[in-house]
């Protein structure tokens, strides 16, 4: 594979390994920087040694890789905010007690049903100056308090640390926040917040002001809210206000990438700015002026779009393209790709663990690497056929490259993605050109009515097409179980197969066959593991009690009537089924006594009625009014479990009673789901 023959490729790969190592192992900062110092000295010593004895040059390469690894580890360590001495997590009892927080709003997130959500920068806790980011949840109220980016707020409240998932195979939102250097959540009522008259006017404030000006002017001109929210997502990278049903339609149609600002969007910005700058002469000063204006425009648009990982990747890539054009040099696209990865991860190593960043680079790499092979399979002479074939081959190359990762994260596959791209990409090109013009004119409040309406109608047509494709649900394959082992072995098959197609050789054919065998072994091993497992699970469900018993691939649900009817459509249960390669075989009504793995389990609900026996485990649900201490003395259980359907005040009393009687107590609200094997 020629890409790996580039020295920069191997250095970047080792650098990434260093970031991953630091992310999972979290070594001591002192050890990290000591290792970096030693690696730097070693490189200098070996380099001096190699100047005397050139035949030992291979040792210099090894020390370069060692330094790249050390730089990767130190980069991740430096950019882990919790290591900073003035970070709010270093304050004693910051999560245990109430404090007075002074915050600055930095970014608006998608609101929940009950709260407005912001990323806020901490400047002071009580009287201690500190730093760090947290997630601020402001409860919605009838007065509709309005907060803007840059507002300085004072809030009295309790900070809650990021928590692990409370149910099996659930999305780990706490880990997601930690990857973004957000280490806690704060909840507040809008009426209790003190807002300072001073506003922090940084780049995020001005970006928000520009977006708000554009949106308000378009609203004033009568732009329909549904299409406006799609336009803001498509052109400005802001998905906070877009309808969840529209996002779901784009996901089912395989077009969700259109709503995320990426290379397609940045490419149009580059073309638009280049077109405007055509009158500028191409002499030395004029060319330099063009480059400066183009780079500023790209990065200003990146800030306007929120500097999401896909945006940063695209802006960085096209910045190198613009520089190459200015220098009048042919740009090696693989070198550009590698340099952009290296520079982005040096500045923001956490992007490596962002799904958007991973999918973005994989899609781009496979378009560059695999698309030429696909396009060579058929070279139509007709221009229309060639245009259609180019769209299909590019879409297919990107889909092949991202499919295993998409299955691993999202567990679904849009079967009509090629039709979506064939229809939508030409329309997207028109919408992007028109949209950039509308946004610029709207900022100055000079957008003609017919121009804004043309954009609105175009977006309406696109939404209808997407909705029609998404409604063909028989072509959407959902709930596909996919493990990390399947992910790695699938990419082994993909890479080895493409390499063999590029240059058929016996060794490469062997590699293809071996990778296929590895996939089969992974499948058989997973099947054997799942088939030989038995477990009994009490889920963390607030409204209704939810209990499942799994024997191999077969799951029996124990719940009340309403949940029995919902069955596998319940999100909590469905995630469990998908994660364990299982199916729901039966739904039964909750009983007082259940036997599992030679253990007697007593379930007590709101009636408080229970048989007098000696269970191994007692499960308390729906806040039963019982004297737990007396029940423990009579029944003598080995463990007591309380699910989230119980009042929290009762759970605290039960926990105290269990501690008094020296009986283990498991609250799903506190510890997450309970599992018995």
pLDDT digits (tens, 9 = 90+) for 243-295: 888 888 888 888 777 777 666 677 777 777 887 888 888 787 888 888 888 88
In a domain, 393, yes or no: no
pLDDT in tens, 479-491: 899 999 999 999 9
Mean pLDDT computed over 361-387: 86
First to last CA, the chain: 46
Residues 544 and 585 in one domain: yes
Residue 551 pLDDT > 80:
yes
Buried b (16+ CB within 10 A) or exposed e, 658-667: beebebebbb
Q: Give the model's pLDDT for residue 325.
A: 72
Average pLDDT over residues 452-465: 89
Same domain, 118 and 187: yes
Shared-domain flag, residues 236 and 265: yes
Which of 109-113, 143-147, 344-348, 654-658 is the least confident region?
143-147
Is residue 649 one of the residues assigned to a domain?
A: yes
Query: Based on the domain organization, do 489 and 570 belong to the same domain?
Result: no
222 and 110 in a common domain: no
Which of 200, 227, 262 lies at the terminal end of a domain, its last residue?
A: 200
For the cut 90, the answer to whether the pLDDT of residue 587 exceeds it is no
Average the pLDDT over 27-37 and give the result: 93
Least confident of 334-343, 579-588, 625-634: 334-343
Average pLDDT score, the chain: 87
What is the reported pLDDT for 607? 84
336 in a domain, yes or no? yes
Please, which pLDDT band fits residue 3 given cuts at 50, 70 and 90? Answer: low
- Burial (CB < 10 A; 0-12, 13-18, 19+), residue 551, is middle
490, 468: one domain: no
* Contact residues for 19 (Cβ-Cβ < 8 A; gap 6+): 72, 73, 75, 76, 345, 349, 352
Mean pLDDT of 576-591: 89
Number of structural domains (the chain) is 5
Among residues 526, 595, 586, 590, the alpha carbon closest in space to that of 554 is found at 586
Residue 333 has pLDDT above 80, yes or no: no
Region of poorest pLDDT, from 52-56, 349-353, 376-380, 513-517: 52-56
Q: What is the largest CA-CA distance in the chain?
A: 95
- Are 137 and 117 a contacting pair, CB within 8 Å? yes
In this prediction, residue 518 has a pLDDT band, given cuts at 50, 70 and 90, of very high
Give CA 292 to chain center in angstroms: 33
Contact 231, 435 (CB under 8 A): yes
Q: What pLDDT, on a 0 to 100 scale, did the predictor assign at position 563?
A: 64
* Predicted pLDDT of residue 509: 93
| pLDDT at 183 > cutoff 60 | yes
User: Does residue 260 sit within a domain?
Assistant: yes
- pLDDT at position 5: 61
540 in a structural domain: yes
* 473 lies in the same domain as 621: no
Per-residue pLDDT tens for 290-328?
Answer: 888 888 888 888 877 777 777 787 788 778 778 877 776
pLDDT at 543: 82
Domain presence at residue 394: no
Q: Residues 548, 662: one domain?
A: yes
Provide the residue range defining the domain that includes 57. 2-78
% pLDDT > 70, the chain: 96
Answer whether residue 601 shows pLDDT above 70.
Answer: yes
Q: What does the pLDDT read at residue 421?
A: 82
- Per-residue pLDDT at 155: 92
CA distance 319 to 292: 10
pLDDT of residue 56: 64
Stretch 183-203: mean pLDDT: 87
Three-state secondary structure string covering 60-108: HHHHHHHHHHHHHHHHHHHCCHHHCCCEHHHCCCCCCCEEEEEEEEEEE
Residue 115 belongs to domain with CATH number = 2.40.50
Q: Are residues 555 and 662 in the same domain?
A: yes
Tokens 């991860």 belong to 345
One domain, residues 473 and 494 = no
Task: Give the three-state DSSP class for 285.
Answer: helix
Q: Residues 553-573: pLDDT tens digits?
A: 999 998 876 665 666 678 889
**Residue 565's pLDDT is what?**
63
Q: Provide mean pLDDT across the span 515-524.
A: 95
Whether 36 shows a pLDDT value over 80: the answer reads yes
Whether 538 and 634 map to the same domain: the answer is: yes
Report whether pLDDT(71) > 80.
yes
Q: Residue 292: what pLDDT?
A: 87
* Strand bridging mode 98-108 / 151-161: antiparallel
Of 54, 78, 102, which residue sits at a domain end?
Answer: 78
Domain boundary among 140, 171, 200: 200
> In this structure, is residue 362 part of a structural domain?
no
Say if pTM beats, i.e. exceeds, 0.95. Answer: no
pLDDT at 598: 87
Kindly indicate the confidence band of residue 22, based on its pLDDT and cuts at 50, 70 and 90. Answer: very high
Which pLDDT belongs to residue 473? 78
Residue that wins the pLDDT comparison between 322 and 125: 125
Element (H, E) at 160: strand 151-161
**With helix as H, strand as E and coil as C, how does 170-206 read?**
CCCHHHHHHHCCEEEEEEEEHHHCEEEEEECCCHHHH
| Same-domain check for residues 158 and 255 | no
Report how far apart, in Å, the C-alpha atoms of 644 and of each of 334, 509, 651, 658, 673 are.
52, 54, 9, 17, 9
The more confident residue out of 575 and 432 is 575
């Amino acid at each position: 594979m020629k890409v790996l023959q580039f020295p920069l490729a191997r250095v970047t790969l080792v650098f990434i390994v260093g970031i991953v190592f630091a992310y999972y192992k979290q070594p001591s900062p002192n050890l990290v920087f000591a290792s970096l110092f030693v690696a730097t000295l070693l490189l200098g010593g070996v380099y001096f040694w190699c100047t005397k004895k050139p035949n030992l040059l291979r040792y210099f390469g090894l020390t370069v890789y060692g330094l790249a690894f050390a730089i990767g580890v130190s980069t991740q360590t430096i950019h882990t905010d919790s290591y900073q001495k003035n970070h709010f997590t270093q304050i004693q009892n910051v999560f245990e007690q109430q404090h007075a927080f002074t915050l600055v709003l930095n970014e608006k997130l998608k609101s929940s049903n009950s709260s407005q959500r912001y990323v806020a920068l901490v400047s002071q806790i009580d009287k201690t100056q500190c730093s760090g980011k947290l997630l601020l949840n402001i409860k919605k109220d009838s007065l509709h308090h309005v907060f803007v980016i840059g507002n300085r707020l004072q809030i009295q409240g309790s900070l809650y640390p990021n928590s692990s998932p409370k149910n099996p195979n659930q999305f780990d939102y706490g880990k997601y926040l930690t990857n973004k250097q957000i280490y806690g959540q704060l909840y507040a009522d809008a009426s209790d917040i003190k807002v300072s008259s001073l506003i922090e006017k940084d780049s995020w404030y001005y970006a928000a002001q520009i977006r708000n000006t554009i949106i308000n002017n378009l609203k004033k001109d009568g732009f329909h809210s549904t299409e406006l929210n799609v336009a803001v997502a498509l052109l400005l990278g802001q998905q906070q206000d877009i309808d969840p049903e529209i996002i779901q339609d784009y996901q089912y149609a395989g077009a969700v990438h259109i709503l995320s600002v990426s290379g397609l969007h940045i490419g149009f910005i580059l073309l638009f700015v280049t077109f405007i700058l055509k009158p500028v002469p191409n002499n030395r000063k004029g060319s330099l002026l063009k480059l400066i204006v183009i780079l500023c425009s790209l990065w200003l648009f990146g800030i306007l779009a929120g500097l999401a990982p896909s945006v940063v990747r695209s802006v960085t890539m096209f910045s190198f393209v613009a520089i190459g054009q200015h220098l009048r040099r042919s740009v090696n696209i693989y070198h550009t790709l590698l340099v952009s990865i290296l520079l982005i991860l040096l500045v923001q190593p956490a992007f490596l663990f962002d799904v958007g960043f991973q999918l973005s680079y994989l899609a781009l790499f496979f378009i560059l690497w695999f698309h030429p092979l696909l396009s060579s399979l058929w070279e139509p002479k007709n221009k229309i056929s060639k245009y259609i074939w180019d769209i299909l081959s590019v879409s297919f190359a990107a889909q092949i490259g991202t499919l295993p990762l998409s299955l691993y994260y999202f567990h679904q596959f849009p079967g009509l993605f090629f039709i979506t791209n064939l229809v939508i990409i030409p329309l997207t090109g028109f919408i992007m050109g028109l949209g950039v013009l509308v946004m610029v004119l709207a900022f100055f409040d000079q957008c003609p009515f017919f121009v804004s309406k043309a954009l609105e109608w175009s977006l309406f047509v696109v939404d209808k097409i997407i909705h029609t494709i998404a409604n063909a649900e028989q072509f959407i394959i959902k709930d596909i179980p996919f493990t990390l082992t399947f992910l790695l072995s699938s990419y082994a098959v993909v890479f080895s197969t493409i390499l063999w197609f590029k240059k058929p050789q016996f060794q490469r054919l062997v590699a293809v066959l071996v990778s296929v065998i590895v996939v089969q072994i992974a499948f058989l091993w997973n099947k054997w593991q799942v088939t030989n497992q038995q477990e009994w699970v009490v889920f963390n469900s607030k409204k209704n009690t939810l209990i499942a018993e799994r024997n191999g691939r077969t799951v029996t649900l124990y719940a009340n009537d309403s949940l029995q009817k919902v069955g596998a459509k319940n999100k909590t249960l469905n995630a469990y089924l998908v994660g364990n390669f299982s199916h729901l075989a039966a739904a039964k009504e909750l009983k007082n006594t259940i036997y599992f793995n030679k253990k007697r389990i007593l379930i007590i609900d709101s009636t408080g009625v229970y048989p007098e026996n000696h269970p191994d485990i007692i499960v308390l649900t729906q806040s039963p009014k019982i004297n737990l201490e007396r029940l423990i003395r009579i029944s003598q259980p080995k463990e007591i479990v309380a699910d989230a359907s119980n009042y929290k005040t009762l759970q605290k009393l039960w926990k105290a009673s269990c501690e008094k009687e020296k009986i283990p107590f498991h609250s799903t609200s506190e510890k997450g789901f309970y599992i018995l094997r």
